[in-house]
Amino acid sequence: MLEDVRVVHTVVPSPLGPVTLVSHDGGLSALLLQSSKYESVQGPFGERADDEFDDVRTQLDEYFAGTRTEFDLPLHLVGTSFQRRVWEGLLRIPFGQTRSYGELAAEIGLDPRTSSRAVGAANGRNRIAIVVPCHRVIGADGALTGFAAGLDRKRFLLGHEAKGRPREHLLF
């Protein structure tokens, strides 16, 4: 018999518009940015439980204030083993740096010539934006590519992280 999983959510403000946070049994399972920066994401995210996201809210506030460069939150990664491998690779990209899809593939032990597209697809399925920093992955030519919440938000996040950082692996 499967155990019941407690799913709850909240919506918090951010410089990018409302952010919907979802938790499965205490682990952050989604951080969703609406395609329009003025509306929150709608969906079956369990009951609303604003008080259960204090740590996430605090760490996001610190990130946007420029005082946090790394998140320390319990995560509930829902995906295939390959997707989780890619997402764990994303978690190792330092604040303020970027990687191409091929570089990320190589860093997680894959052949970049044959795996870049698969890495890109897994990156696109990441549901925990910002915390699992899919925005730090760019095209091999340095172009901004794919971000579910829009390239303007990806540009904002990369610009935010680039302030005061060394120029190595930076887009800006």
Q: Which residues are catalytic?
A: 134
For residues 97 and 165, is the Cβ–Cβ distance under 8 A? yes
Which residues are CB-neighbours of 145 under 8 A, at least 6 positions away?
Answer: 120, 138, 139
Taking Cα atoms as reference points, which of 8, 13, 76, 61 lies closest to residue 40? 13
* C-alpha closest to that of 86 among 105, 114, 113, 100: 105
Of residues 153, 160, 151, the one with CA closest to residue 64? 160
The answer to whether 116 touches 108, Cβ cutoff 8 Å, is: no
